[in-house]
Structure 1
Amino acid sequence: MTKTKTGFTLIEVLIVVALLGILASIAIPAFTNHITKARRADAQVALLEAAQKMERFFTNNNTYVGATIGDGANDLIHETSERGYYLLSFPERPDNEDNPWARGFIVRADAQNEQAGDSDCQFFTIDHLGRRSSGPSSNCW
């Protein structure tokens, strides 16, 4: 009667571990990249809602002046996006004029928290004409 050996050899175990390592090195960065792109929707939704609130404000007041972004009860637009990945603000205009102004506005969403590492789309903007931009990449919307 001969005994048959069962089980795995050390070489077989090392091959399986190496294959799992290769698969993980491909899958984890792809998954992380997908999550980063999915979180960009948080900025897009927040900016579209902000633009809608600004238009409603203009309809009621015939100006954008006086609209505010913050965490207070009287602020028109909430300072952080719904999921907290972006911080909303009125950026300084290139001509050093006030933002919002009587007939226009620009709202900006800057990546923060877990999304701060998004090097392609660090910020998004929308203005009173519906023009959208992002940076440094221009195809984030």
Structure 2
Amino acid sequence: MLNKVNKKIQEGFTLVEILIVVVIIGILAAIAIPTYFNYVEKAYASDAQTQIKTIFEECKIWRATHSDFPTDVQEMIDENASNISQSTLLKWQFEIDLQQSSESSSGIEGSIVATSTEEMPGGADNKVCYDVATSTWTGFGTSVECAD
């Protein structure tokens, strides 16, 4: 009878065992959560990068028909030269600064910058920058900040 009582008392976990498990879970969370947020940030930046690539291609077509680059995405939308969705324009504001260049291999230099708005789940004022001459991405979702 005494063995049955001792057996029932010894079933379960001690406070130390539970604390060790909680500490291990905390350590794993401390490692996993920043990594997760980094992936989420890169996903939001990827959306902007896709839109910037589309805008850049549309700008090249615009230059072929207008002999100069557009100064604004809205200008292209007004002339049906861009099909960027309204939902994208609610999340991102795009700045186009492109010029023709004889020094660049593509004949184009400048940048296209996307700045997130309040509607963006990742937060406002995050910039994704594309340098046309070097074909490099900087800003939100990368380890390098946009050059001013």
Tell me the TM-score normalised to structure 2 length.
Answer: 0.61
Distance of 2:44 and 2:63 partners within structure 1 = 30
The residue that corresponds to 2:20 in the other structure is 15
Superposition deviation, residue 39 in structure 1:
2.4
SS at match of 2:13: coil
Give runs of aligned pairs for residues 1-141 of structure 1, distance below 5 A. 1=1, 2-3=3-4, 4-5=7-8, 6-65=11-70, 68-70=72-74, 74=78, 76-77=81-82, 78=84, 82=88, 86-90=92-96, 106-112=111-117, 113-116=120-123, 122-127=127-132, 131-132=135-136, 134-135=138-139, 137=144
The verdict on how the C-alpha distance between 1:13 and 1:133 changes in structure 2, with shifts beyond 3 A counting, is: closer
Equivalence for 2:104:
none
C-alpha displacement at 1:47, in angstroms? Answer: 1.0
The alpha carbon displacement at 1:108 in A equals: 1.6
> Rg larger in 1 or in 2?
2
Distance 2:90 2:113 in 1: 14
Q: 1:69 to 1:20 in 2, by over 3 A?
A: same
CA distance in structure 1 between the aligned counterparts of 2:144 and 2:38, rounded to whole angstroms: 15
- Change in CA separation of 1:87 and 1:79 when aligned onto 2, cut-off 3 Å: farther
In structure 2, runs of 5+ residues without a counterpart are 102-107
Gaps of 5+ in 1: 91-98
TM-superposed CA distance for 1:86, in Å, is 3.4
CA RMSD of aligned residues (A): 3.9
**Percent sequence identity over matched residues?**
24
Retained in 2: the 8 A contact 1:80–1:88? no
Whole-angstrom distance in 2 between the partners of 1:89 and 1:79: 16
Aligned-partner residue type, residue 88 of structure 1: F
**Number of positions where the alignment pairs a residue of Structure 1 with one of Structure 2:** 127
- Please say if residues 87 and 111 of structure 1, whose CA atoms lie closer than 8 Å, have aligned partners that are also in contact: yes
**Structure 1 length normalisation: TM-score?**
0.64
